[in-house]
Each structure stands twice: as C-alpha cells, then as structure tokens.
Amino acid sequence: MALTACAASAASKGLAIDPAVEPPTFSALTRLLVVAPHPDDETLATGLLIQQVRAAGGEVQILLLTAGDNNPWPQRWLERRIRIRGVDRQRWGQRRLAEMQHALRQLDVPAQALRTLGWPDMGITEGLLQSGSGLLATLAEAIGEFHPSLIALPSLHDRHPDHGTAHVLVRLAVARLARSPAMLAYLVHGRTLGVRYVEICGSAGQQACKQQALSAYRSQMALSRNRLRRLAALPERYALVPPRPGQPASALPWLPPAWLQPWLRLSVVSERGTQSWRWRDAPLRRDGEGIYQLTLTSGLDDIPCFVRLAWDLHALWIFDHWGWHEL
C-alpha cells in the first residue's frame, strides 16, 4: 500500500509538500523501525504509519528508549502521593510498559516486536554528552540487527530533550551503516518540523484504531486526555530526512543576548565524539552580518554533525529553548 501523502489536504492548509520527493511505498518487504523515546510516542506520532505498514504485510519493530518512568505529576495524581522514591518510579515505568504492550496489540504489532533499551527517562541528552559512545554502540547494534528499510524517528526540532537527542543518536548510528534506510522524522512537542514533509491521513477505521490504542495509556490520559486526543486526531506529518546531507555549514541559527551568555553551553556532536564549551569559551566568531560562526579546526567535516545550545544549569523547565541544530 502506498503511503498516503495528503497533498490536497495540505495544500488547503497552505502547507508545503515537496513535489520532487516521492513518498515511500509499503509492501511485504517493508521493515519499519519506530524509535520511541517514551511509551505513547509510537501511538501518538506513528499509529497510522504502523497500521499501514502492517496492512501491507510489512514488519514493524518498536525501539523504546526509556520506560517513561520520570513522569512525576501523573504519578502523584493517580497514586495520591507527593514523594516519589526509586521503587515508585520503577513501578510507574512497568505500568507504562504494560500500557504500551496493550496499545501495540491494538495496532496489530506482535509483543515480540517491542525492544526496550532501558535508558534513563529525561537523561538521554546527558548520556550523549557525557558518554555518548556507549549509547551510540547500543543503538547502532539494535538498528543493524533489525535491518530496517524505513525508520520513523523523533524530530531534531522536538522541544523535549529526549526526543531531539534521540534524533541525533539515530542519525549517527545510521551513518555507520553501509546503506542508509529511508528516514521520516515526527514531532510530538513544538511546532517546527521543517518544510519538506509528507502526511498520512489514514482511513476512518485506522483513525479509530489509533484512538483505541491511545486509550490504553490511562496513566497519560489522566491529566492530558484532551491534548492527547487532539494530537492523535491530526494527520501524521513526517519530515523527510536526507540520508547524506551536503557539506556541513558552520553558521549557528542563534543570537543569544549578551546578558544570557554566561549561563549558556554549546556542544558539538558527531561520530568523532562530543565537544562542549561554556559560551564564552566556545570557538566562535561573528561574521559581517552578525551571525555566529563556529571556528573549529577539526570535527566540522564530519557528516552528520550537530550543535546544541542549552542552559549550563539545571532548570525547572524541562523543554529545550534552543535545542539542536544540524550543521
């Protein structure tokens, strides 16, 4: 079955779908790998895609990065407790995992198609910046074992740090493969997906099935039912990820004001590893137009190569303000 690029619907909303890009088609040979940072991302963002691949006879694997156990407000609400200990977190993660298994059954994904990596919820970015090679090796092995023809991965521009960083890790892992699968990036938090994308609308039956799968996530519906229902009712929109981007550029998209700069940290990540500086120590110069340019003597030749701007302190607000950018 062909992926439904809802060009007419997109055109009516003034959205741009690049006509030069052929949307992928599905068949019994399709091997879809969905990379989900938390339980529910796969249903919310790719519930229709999964169903369409399964309907075409293709195989689906879900790679779950964390158990979503660092989720204190729904847990406090449903368990009527203020303090959350390690053992409580563990129990919450198991609960969310059971919800995911239930949701996947609704989407016709067999239980053995779920693979969990057990990474720390809200800790993937720190993991990558502190010791990324271990995470990268695990991910590359998992991807290599499944041999996907298509990967659905979180968008680089997702404001949840686990999501943006998952994108970076998947891209670096895929760059190690001899042959790159097609990649479609989905957005759960934020607005900026990019201008080249395809949409999957799904049939009424597939939409109903997706909502049914979402119902399995009772822990998440408790405080966010309306938001999740609305999100799941939208057509699924995927940015096209070019497998081999062109020559990396050194320009940064950010112009942080001077008074903020003492609290900012800049990190560059590529296959070669991670380099990280306080803003004032970072290898930067401003060009004639006032744009910051990285002046690294090595590392910028790596493809892909990503840069991250973030607070250099722990903030209460969990979402990224600047986040990641691909050089």
Q: Which residues bind Zn ion (CB under 5 A)?
A: 37-38, 41
Closer Cβ to Zn ion, 186 or 279, answer by number: 186
Closer Cβ to Zn ion, 216 or 327, answer by number: 216
- For 146, the token pair is 């499944």
Task: State the Cα–Cα distance between residues 240 and 190, nearest whole angstrom.
Answer: 17
Of the candidates 142, 236, 143, 150, the residue with the CA atom closest to the CA atom of residue 198: 236
CB 124 within 8 A of CB 135: yes
Closer Cβ to Zn ion, 224 or 293, answer by number: 224
In the complex, what is the shortest distance from the CB of residue 166 to Zn ion, in angstroms, rounded to a whole number?
9
Closer Cβ to Zn ion, 17 or 239, answer by number: 239
Beta bridge partners of 292: 286
In the complex, what is the shortest distance from the CB of residue 37 to Zn ion, in angstroms, rounded to a whole number?
4
DSSP code, position 2:
B
- For 247, the token pair is 């020559």
Give the up-direction half-sphere exposure of residue 246: CA atoms within 13 A in the CB hemisphere. 2
In the complex, what is the shortest distance from the CB of residue 162 to Zn ion, in angstroms, rounded to a whole number?
6
Amino acid identity of 8? A
In the complex, what is the shortest distance from the CB of residue 44 to Zn ion, in angstroms, rounded to a whole number?
8
What are the start-end ranges of the E strands in 56-207? 59-66, 114-119, 150-154, 182-186, 197-200
Closer Cβ to Zn ion, 229 or 278, answer by number: 229
What is the residue whose two structure tokens read 């999100």?
231
Closer Cβ to Zn ion, 59 or 162, answer by number: 162
In the complex, what is the shortest distance from the CB of residue 287 to Zn ion, in angstroms, rounded to a whole number?
37
Nearest residue to Zn ion, scored by beta-carbon proximity: 38
- For 285, the token pair is 């110069």
In the complex, what is the shortest distance from the CB of residue 206 to Zn ion, in angstroms, rounded to a whole number?
22
